[in-house]
Amino acid sequence: MGKYQHLTDFQIDEKINSGEFREEGTLIRNVSNGETVKVKSSRLSISNSFPTTFLQVNNTVIYQADLTPVYEKIKQSRELQSFSDMQERYNIILDFFDSYINHGDHLSELLTESLQVSAIFENRTRNYIQNLDIKKIDSLDINLFVGSLSAYVNVLFIYILVSFLKYKESFSKDTVIIGKIISLREQLTDVYEQLLVKSTVDHEGVNRLSMSGSVYALYLLDKSYDVFELEDLVKYDRRFKSALDVINFFKRYNLEIEDYYHNTIKISMNVPQYTKDSNRIKLIESFSKTLSDLENLENLREEILQVKDNSEVIALVESKIRS
H helices of 168-207, in order, are 176-196
Q: Once rounded to an integer, what is the mean pLDDT over residues 214-233?
A: 88
Pairing verdict, β 61-64 and 5-7: parallel
- Is the four-CA dihedral 53, 54, 59, 62 of positive or negative sign? positive
- CB of 216 within 8 A of CB of 274? no
Q: What pLDDT does residue 176 have? A: 86
Q: Report pLDDT for 291.
A: 95
At 42, the pLDDT band (50, 70, 90 cuts) reads low
CB 22 within 8 A of CB 33: no
pLDDT confidence bin for 271, thresholds 50/70/90: confident
Banded model confidence at residue 126, pLDDT cuts 50, 70, 90: very high
Tell how far CA 128 is from the center of its chain: 20
Torsion of CA 136, 142, 148, 154, to 10 degrees: 100
* Residues 49, 269: Cα–Cα separation, whole Å: 37
- Range from 145-159, 166-180, 253-267, 291-305 carrying the lowest mean pLDDT: 253-267
Ranges assigned E (strand) in 8-157: 21-24, 27-30, 36-39, 55-58, 61-64
Contact (CB, 8 A) for 37 and 23: no
Q: What is the pLDDT at residue 285?
A: 93
Name the 3-class secondary structure at 271. Answer: coil
Distance between CA 107 and CA 109 in Å, rounded? 6
- Which one has a higher pLDDT value, 267 or 293? 293
Q: What is residue 41's predicted lDDT score, i.e. its pLDDT?
A: 65
The residue among 234 and 224 whose pLDDT is bigger is 234
